A and B are shown apart, each in its own frame.
Chain A
Amino acid sequence: MFALLLAAVIAARLPLAGALGRAGIVLPFTAVFAAICWLAGDPVRGIALLLKSYLSALAVLVAVSTTPLPVLIRGLETMGVPRFLLMVAQFLYRYLFVISEEAQHMSKAAASRGATARSLVGGRSRFRAAAGALAVLFARSYGRAEDVHRAMLARGFAGHFRTLGALDFRRSDACFAALASLAPVLLRVAVERAG
């Protein structure tokens, strides 16, 4: 199973060490449960838990890293995730870079007026500067939200979104789905037969 996912990571041209490291983010949580299993006298189950969680996280990582977000969102929509959450994710994706660019501009403006890490010595003034910057970013985002709403209304927005097109389920998708579900099963059967 791990070999399959490893092959997927390599095929997707993702940075190997980065991907493997990122998937380990679930390990602290499952390690707790694994420890409980261990203490309860069933170490095999604990290790199986750890492995399963790691592999699931790795699989999710591969899926998310290789699919463009609009496609992901449309896929989630067909699976029944509430529209409101998806809209929030969509707008976040759209405007996150805009807001981070504004934040960079603000830090550049502060730096060009001499706000180096040394001059803002003492936690308090740095905290106040950062808090002020955050407040301005929030106010700007709020104002931008009003602008976006106005632009939506000017183009006839009636209250609910409509999507441009559904995703097609092509033959390659069917082949992939079949392969992906059969491969682990066949592997497992092979392992059982051999052992």
Chain B
Amino acid sequence: MAPPLSRESISGWKLARPWRCWAPTEAAKLTFVMHLNGLLKGEGSVEVCGLSVEKRNIAAIRNKIGMVFQDSESQLFMPTVLEDVAFGLLNRGMSAAEAGDRARTALNIVGMAAAATKAPYHLSAGEKKRVAIAGILAMDPEILVLDEPTTFLDPPGQRALADLLAHLPQAKILVTHDIPFAHALCNRAVFFQNGSIAAAGPVEEIVTRFGWEFALERSKLNR
């Protein structure tokens, strides 16, 4: 279902921490990111945190890379918030008591400890995103991958999310179209186009080169 990525975009791509980037693309951004934890396989090789992405390393890699998908409704699939956050830990083989404790700690980090017994359907979009992040944080990853995290978030929610992400120590990869958000959080940017990398560099340089900060220009024209 995903379009095939060209070979150059994957081979020789080394992830080192701490390192952030964002990738606005017409296609293939989620595809690229899904190669990182083995959800998709392509030609060539991918190495993450020193482990190559193949079947024997998949479980370890999925513990090191935490992926927060765009649609939190599909990411929170358990009946209660606490069960959902503990899902990854239980899959790792942890005991129920310890998984519950770790889940509660993760919920505390994102500020959603009060919602532990609620059903995900009753949460707002921002709260769902926080719980999804808690579910990933509970697994103690080294790299956080967030796919379009600002979708469905209103400006206060975006601000709260930016604050939360800024305080997390893990390396972050942000796949987003939201230029101000990326500006606020990231230092390096990678631009994908037609399935391969079109540009890479500091965020300001990429944005000015392609002229994506049109908000200020437009508002001047309107006046």
Contacts and interface: CB of A to CB of B under 8 A. Distances in A.
B59 interface: yes
Contacts of B34: 150
Contact of B39 (A150, A158, A166): A150
B86 A164 contact: yes
A97 B96 CA distance: 29
A151 B75 contact: yes
B77 A69 contact: no
B42 interface: no
A91 interface: yes
A148 B77 contact: yes
A64 to B, nearest CB: 15
Interface string B39-75: 1000000000000000000010011001101010111
**A-side interface size class:** 20 to 34
B121 A154 contact: no
B79 A94 contact: yes
Contact of A164 (B59, B63, B75, B83): B83
A156 B139 contact: yes
A154 B71 CA distance: 14
Given A154-B62, A164-B86, A93 B79 contact: yes
A97 B119 CA distance: 11
Given A97-B121, A147-B71, A164-B86, A152 B63 contact: no
Ranked 8 nearest A-B pairs via Cβ = A147-B74, A155-B88, A162-B90, A156-B91, A154-B67, A70-B79, A151-B75, A165-B96
Interface of B: 34, 37, 39, 59, 62-63, 66-67, 69, 71, 73-75, 77-80, 82-83, 86-88, 90-92, 96-97, 99-100, 119-121, 135-136, 139
Interface of A: 69-70, 73, 90-91, 93-95, 97-98, 144, 147-148, 150-158, 162-166
Given A150-B69, A153-B39, A157-B91, 9 more contacts: A91-B77, A98-B73, A144-B71, A147-B69, A151-B67, A151-B74, A154-B39, A162-B90, A165-B100
